[in-house]
């Protein structure tokens, strides 16, 4: 294993290359800017980009987006595609929080409609949406019902009145990943998932009320139904304890058989199985279950949010007009088709802290957005707001249809706690007009804006590199955290 930082060669304004050395099969490519690269300091993520390049069947290069930082195994912000015949699937390349992702709800409400109710809204959301460590939901699922959630995803929630068919249309993959087999999910994972559906979780997960503050691309914004002053809600959550357990179970299983790969891996956390092997297929079937659980979870969180808005504002659904704009996952492996050497090839694409960014005209993009490209949601750190971008043809050809997923940490949680000592981050946010409520005592300090890279700088890189384009920016008004 190499623990030395690899040599980085600048390719152009927004790309750095790691040339293949030692056991690397392909080069590494990092999308970044000079400032972001400097800020990274001694962060070990470039070593991880190089390590991913060792994996069997990796196609073209090991990629990293500008929000990249030191993860475990894969870097966070990493993208890698593998051949279906000779390539691998790696649970560590997906992450513990399988289908961690974002959904954005837009509305007919203008900021003036809610300005005076903002505090009441945030309080009501905080009181009614279970959040924090090990939080339990209102629903207690039987094992039979839980397996239906795993097989059906968002559709399970909609069939039970928690949403509409339009919500499914606006979710990546229609909120249901094909190939899910609940029998491949362990008893432990099922147990952990039984009472956590409809809960936000802890750490960097949040629910934020935002307002459209700036529009960069008027025709795209129009096609997306966005306008200045419009109120929106961003939800960031994932598959909760069930997803962590699925990753943990399969990672341990793959570590146990690591010798059978016939290849030395630079890090045990990169343990993997051939996509075509039984172990690989089993993981994909279990991972799809966790992905579906996450979609059902975000669907429930969103539905509850809609109800709370209606009740608090004393309005009906027609007046609030709260609809799902789009839902994307940013911790996932997908079987997708890409152009490769003049033909279309099926590949297994890992996005670990990276977002899909499919181009205009792609069949996977909802019909109403198809002329513009897939909506890409880039949440910022607490209280910063978010970007809405659109996928591009260049991303499809160059990054396996992928772009960045957020701001990306620069400070560790302990550094953030130290930096926050003696300060009231909640008060600092309130001074900026942003209401923040959190369940965990240390959460607000750990998640302080200073702990993250500059979101504008990250988004500028992917925009300039052409792997997604800026459509609009949203400002945060209030936020609840776990």
Stretch that binds another protein, among 159-167, 200-208, 320-328, 462-470 (CB under 8 A): 200-208
Token reading at 469: 């384009």
Among 52, 232, 235, 251, binds another protein (CB under 8 A): 251
**Nearer to another protein among residue 8 and residue 255 (C-beta):** 255
b or e along 416-434 (b: 16 or more beta carbons within 10 Å of the residue's beta carbon)?
beeebeeeebbebbeeeeb
Decide: is 216 part of the binding site for another protein (CB under 8 A): no
442 binds another protein (CB under 8 A): yes
Q: Which helix (H) or strand (E) holds 218?
A: helix 218-224
Among 61, 82, 96, 309, binds another protein (CB under 8 A): 96
- How do the residues of the chain divide into helix, strand and coil, expressed in percent and rounded to 5? 40, 25, 35
Binding mask 109-138 for another protein (x = CB under 8 A): ------------------------xx----
CA-to-CA distance for 402 and 292, rounded, in angstroms? 21
| Residue 148 phi, psi (nearest 5) | -65, -40
The whole-angstrom distance between residue 232's C-alpha and the CA centroid of its chain comes to 18
| 481 three-class SS | strand
350 is catalytic: no
Q: How far is the CB of 48 from another protein (least distance, A)?
A: 9
Give Cα 450 distance to the centre of its chain: 21
Structure tokens at 128: 């009614």
On the CB side of 440, how many CA atoms lie within 13 Å of its CA? 21
For the chain, the C-alpha Rg in angstroms (whole number) is: 21
User: Which residues, 273 to 312, sit near another protein by CB under 8 A?
Assistant: none
Q: Quick check: 255 binds another protein (CB under 8 A)?
A: yes
User: Of the two residues 267 and 397, which places its CB atom closer to another protein in the complex?
Assistant: 267
Helix (H) or strand (E) holding 242: helix 240-256
Taking CB under 8 A as the rule, does residue 93 contact another protein? no
- Binds another protein (CB under 8 A): choice among 19, 35, 412, 424: 412
Contacts of 144 (CB under 8 A, 6+ apart): none
- Regarding 244 and contact with another protein (CB under 8 A), the answer is yes
Which segment (238-246, 322-330, 360-368, 472-480) binds another protein by CB under 8 A? 238-246
Distance, C-alpha 438 to centroid of its chain: 21
- Near another protein by CB under 8 A: residue from 54, 69, 351, 475: 69
* Element housing 74 (H / E): strand 74-83
Nearest CB to another protein, comparing residues 106 and 245: 245
> What are the phi and psi torsion angles at 198 (to 5°)?
85, 20
Q: Which stretch binds another protein (CB under 8 A): 171-179, 251-259, 339-347, 371-379?
A: 251-259
Which listed range, 14-22, 145-153, 185-193, 328-336, lies at the site for another protein (CB under 8 A)? 185-193
- Minimum CB–partner distance for residue 72 and another protein (Å): 3
> Can you tell me which of 154, 171, 245, 305 binds another protein, judged by CB under 8 A?
245
Strands 28-31 and 273-274: unpaired
Catalytic: which of 69, 330, 350, 405? Answer: 405
Interacting span for another protein (CB under 8 A) from 197-205, 212-220, 293-301, 356-364: 197-205
State which of positions 366-385 bind another protein (CB under 8 A). Answer: none
- The structure tokens 């750990």 sit at 446
Q: Does 460 bind another protein (CB under 8 A)?
A: no
Q: Is 238 left (phi over 0), alpha (psi -120 to 50) or beta?
A: beta
440 binds another protein (CB under 8 A): yes
DSSP assignment, residue 277? Answer: S
Looking only at the bridges linking them, the beta strands covering 206-215 and 88-89 are unpaired
Q: Residues interacting with another protein, by CB under 8 A?
A: 43, 45, 69-73, 76, 92, 95-97, 133-134, 188, 191-192, 201-203, 241, 244-245, 247-248, 251-252, 255-256, 267-269, 271, 409-415, 440-442, 482
Show which residues are catalytic: 405
């Amino acid at each position: 294993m190499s623990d030395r930082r690899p040599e980085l060669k600048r390719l152009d304004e927004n790309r750095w290359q790691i040339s293949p050395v030692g056991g690397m099969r392909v080069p590494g490519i990092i999308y970044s800017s000079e400032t972001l690269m400097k800020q990274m300091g001694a962060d070990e993520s470039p070593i991880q980009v190089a390590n991913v390049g060792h994996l069997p069947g990796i196609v073209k290069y090991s990629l990293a987006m500008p929000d990249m930082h030191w993860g475990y195994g894969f870097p966070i912000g990493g993208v890698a595609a593998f051949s279906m015949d000779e390539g691998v699937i790696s649970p560590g390349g997906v992450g513990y929080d399988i289908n961690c992702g974002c959904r954005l709800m837009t509305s007919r409400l203008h900021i003036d409609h809610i300005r005076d109710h903002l505090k009441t809204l945030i309080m009501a959301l905080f009181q009614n949406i279970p959040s924090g460590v090990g939080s339990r939901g209102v629903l207690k699922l039987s094992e039979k019902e839980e397996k239906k959630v795993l097989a059906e995803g968002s559709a399970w929630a909609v069939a039970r009145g928690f949403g509409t068919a339009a919500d499914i249309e606006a979710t990546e993959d229609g909120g249901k990943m094909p190939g899910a087999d609940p029998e491949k999910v362990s008893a432990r994972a099922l147990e952990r998932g039984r009472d956590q559906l409809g809960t936000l979780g802890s750490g960097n997960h949040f629910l934020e009320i935002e307002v459209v503050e700036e529009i960069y691309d008027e025709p795209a914004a129009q096609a997306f139904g966005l306008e200045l002053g419009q109120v929106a809600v961003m939800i960031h959550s994932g598959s909760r304890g069930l997803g962590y357990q699925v990753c943990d179970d399969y990672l341990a299983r793959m570590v146990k058989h690591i010798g059978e790969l016939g290849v030395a891996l630079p890090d045990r956390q990169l343990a993997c199985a051939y996509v075509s092997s039984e172990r690989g297929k089993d993981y994909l079937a279990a991972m799809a279950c966790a992905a579906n659980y996450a979609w059902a979870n975000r669907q429930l969180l969103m539905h509850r949010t809609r109800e709370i808005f209606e009740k608090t504002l004393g309005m009906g659904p027609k007046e609030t007009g709260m609809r799902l704009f789009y839902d994307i996952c940013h911790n996932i492996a997908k079987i997708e088709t890409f152009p490769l050497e003049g033909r279309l090839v099926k590949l297994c694409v890992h996005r670990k802290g990276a977002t899909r960014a499919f181009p205009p005209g792609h069949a996977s993009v909802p019909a109403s957005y198809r002329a513009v490209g897939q909506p890409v949601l880039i949440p910022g750190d607490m209280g910063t707001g978010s970007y809405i971008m659109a996928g591009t043809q260049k991303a499809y050809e160059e990054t396996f249809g992928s772009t960045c997923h957020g701001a990306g940490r620069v400070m560790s949680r302990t550094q953030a706690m130290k930096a926050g000592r003696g300060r009231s981050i909640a008060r600092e946010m309130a001074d900026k007009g942003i209401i923040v409520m959190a369940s965990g005592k240390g959460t607000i300090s750990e998640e302080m804006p200073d702990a993250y890279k500059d979101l504008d700088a990250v988004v500028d890189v992917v925009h300039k590199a052409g792997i997604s384009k800026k459509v609009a920016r949203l400002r945060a008004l209030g936020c609840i955290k776990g």
